[in-house]
């Protein structure tokens, strides 16, 4: 392992990178820039950075009044609102840790997160109060209700967020926090076993925010819409970058992917120029836009993270003025690892060749190192063909899981130090572009050969009659596993598409042995708490499908 060499001492100051300083900066230099937040009734709450900082200071005073001490863990159960935004600065500002509580977790998992983290106080959106009730028997917590009106009566004691703020001074002397202290915690969505705790440092999120700032090219002229749930890897952290840039911020409140009209209307009315989200939101958004008689035109660039975004989605959204920038990351990486752009020496390629590049995850951002390894930990070449496990290290990459023995199996070490094992099967080409082939656990082993479920899914979703598609490996008595395709047709094509059409479509690209043995048409595909296909659920549902 490399030993750090201490050179000649510098004459530079050693200022701590603290989360609250991002808000202080915006309040000082972009004081009048607007922040807009959509209420549950659809109306908008509007204020600016200067007013937001005053509320953050009041909130810090309120936290102190509630007995919050340095290092205390404070849970938040909320939609994407201005109040959640305020909590992201006030809680770490007083030296406490914001615990991002995923409202889509099973109640038992929420209880686990609260107990494992040692949460002492929970801020909860009024509409999510039922989620708090199972926690009350398991952990001793105070509850603060966030509401646009008078909170409802409850059988347990609560505090009112707005009432707490009214009583406080709008000035607070924020302490200087050691930048290596935790500012927030996020628990993985638990695809295997209990959720694992990742505790992000002040230093990590400030450096990560600067990386996002560069990658998304956010500046003071932009309007950023926070679509990614703020309880998931701090909503990918772009709202921090937008704060530093002095961009206008828009919080959508509660919404569902089943009805994206409010979101599309919000993008148009607030003149949104930057956002981020998974294909789980952009695929139905494209479907909605294509049905409109009057086609809107956007000036929007959007990060989208997935194993591989469907090319049809990227091209379709481009026609509406929406540029999809493919990126990759994980809860454990804060999350940005890489993003896609065309390297200067590749600008002369044809448009079709560029589109093929844009489908890849992209090139690592400065500060992050990546490598591919085989099952024995041996490093593999960057040739665009050799598949290995993607391993990652950097200043905003997890170094261990909080109080979790699974830390041991999740990291490897070499002469350069510790690397986090992503569990993703990937290739890296000679230009440095990462391509995620699949999750290792989702690769399909059939007759001794590997089949990528992702490649099949994306090609199926390129079919004009298909809305969504998921492919899983199902145990087979002869071939070990065989692919099974689960397909959601577009509404106008329900009952009008056949499995033969899907197989004929796949035959244009794939060998016969790679094509799923069967295709099932369903109303919807189960999703995980962060909007990804829940292949674990599907594998359990169809584990005996080829054995019957």
* Active site (catalytic) residues: 188, 332, 445, 450
Among the listed residues 228, 188, 179, the one whose alpha carbon sits nearest the alpha carbon of residue 238: 228
Of the chain, the end-to-end C-alpha distance in Å amounts to 53
Long-range contacts of 498-501 (CB under 8 A, 24+ apart): 501/463, 501/465
CB 340 within 8 A of CB 436: no
**Integer Cα distance of 52 and 251 in angstroms:** 14
Element (H, E) at 123: strand 119-125
The CA-atom distances, in angstroms, between 43 and each of 68, 146, 262 are: 33, 16, 11
The number of angstroms, rounded, from the C-alpha of 339 to the middle of its chain's C-alpha atoms is 14
Mapped onto helix, strand or coil, the DSSP state of residue 380 is coil
Element (H, E) at 372: strand 369-373
- DSSP classification of residue 140: -
442: region left, alpha or beta (phi > 0 left; psi from -120 to 50 alpha): alpha
Which residues neighbour 115 within 8 Å (Cβ) at sequence distance 6 or greater?
138, 139
**Integer Cα distance of 317 and 311 in angstroms:** 10
The number of angstroms, rounded, from the C-alpha of 363 to the middle of its chain's C-alpha atoms is 18
Tokens 């080829």 found at: 546
**Integer Cα distance of 115 and 136 in angstroms:** 11
């Amino acid at each position: 392992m490399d030993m750090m060499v201490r050179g000649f001492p510098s004459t530079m100051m050693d200022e701590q990178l603290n989360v609250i300083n991002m808000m202080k900066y915006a309040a000082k230099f972009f004081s009048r820039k607007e922040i807009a937040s959509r209420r549950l009734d659809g109306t908008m709450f509007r204020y600016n950075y200067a007013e937001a900082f005053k509320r953050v200071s009041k909130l810090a005073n309120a936290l102190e009044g509630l007995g919050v001490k340095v290092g205390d863990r404070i849970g938040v159960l909320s939609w994407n609102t201005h109040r959640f935004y305020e909590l992201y600065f006030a809680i770490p500002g007083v030296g406490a840790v914001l615990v991002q509580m995923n409202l889509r977790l099973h109640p038992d998992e929420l209880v686990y997160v609260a107990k494992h983290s040692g949460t002492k106080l929970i801020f909860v959106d009024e509409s999510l109060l039922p989620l708090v009730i199972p926690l009350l028997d398991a952990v001793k917590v105070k509850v603060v209700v966030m509401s646009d009106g008078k909170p409802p009566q409850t059988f347990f004691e609560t505090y009112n967020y707005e009432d707490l703020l009214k009583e406080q001074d709008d000035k607070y002397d924020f302490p200087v926090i050691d930048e290596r202290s935790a500012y927030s915690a996020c628990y993985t969505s638990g695809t295997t076993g209990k959720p694992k705790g990742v505790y992000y440092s002040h230093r990590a999120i400030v450096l990560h925010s600067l990386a996002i700032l560069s990658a998304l090219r956010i500046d003071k002229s932009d309007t950023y819409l926070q679509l990614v749930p703020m309880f998931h890897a701090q909503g990918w952290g772009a709202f921090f970058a937008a704060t530093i840039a002095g961009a206008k911020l828009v919080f959508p409140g509660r919404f569902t992917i089943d009805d994206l009209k409010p979101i599309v209307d919000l993008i148009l009315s607030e003149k949104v120029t930057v956002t981020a989200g998974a294909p789980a939101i952009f695929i139905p958004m494209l479907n909605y836009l294509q049905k409109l008689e009057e086609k809107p035109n956007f000036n929007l660039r959007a990060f989208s993270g997935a194993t591989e975004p469907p090319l049809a989605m990227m091209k379709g959204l481009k026609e509406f003025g929406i540029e999809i920038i493919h990126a990759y990351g994980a809860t454990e990486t804060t999350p940005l690892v890489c993003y896609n752009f065309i390297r200067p020496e590749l600008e002369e390629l044809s448009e079709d060749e560029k589109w093929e590049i844009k489908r890849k995850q992209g090139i690592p951002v400065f500060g992050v190192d990546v490598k591919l390894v085989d099952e024995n930990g041996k490093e593999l070449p960057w040739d665009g063909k050799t598949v290995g496990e993607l391993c990652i290290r950097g200043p905003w990459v997890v170094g261990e899981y909080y109080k979790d023995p699974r830390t041991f199996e999740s990291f490897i070490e070499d002469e350069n130090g510790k690397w986090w094992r992503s569990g993703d099967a990937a290739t890296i080409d000679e230009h440095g572009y990462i391509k995620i082939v699949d999750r290792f656990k989702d690769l399909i082993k059939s007759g001794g050969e590997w089949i990528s479920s992702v490649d099949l899914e994306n090609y199926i979703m390129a079919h004009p009659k298909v809305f969504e598609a998921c492919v899983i490996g199902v145990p087979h008595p002869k071939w070990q596993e065989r692919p099974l395709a689960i397909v959601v047709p577009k509404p106008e094509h329900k009952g009008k598409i056949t499995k033969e059409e899907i197989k004929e479509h796949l035959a244009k690209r794939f060998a016969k042995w790679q094509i799923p043995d069967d295709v099932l048409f369903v109303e919807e595909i189960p999703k995980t708490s962060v909007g990804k296909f829940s292949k674990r659920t599907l594998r359990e549902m169809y584990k005996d499908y080829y054995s019957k």
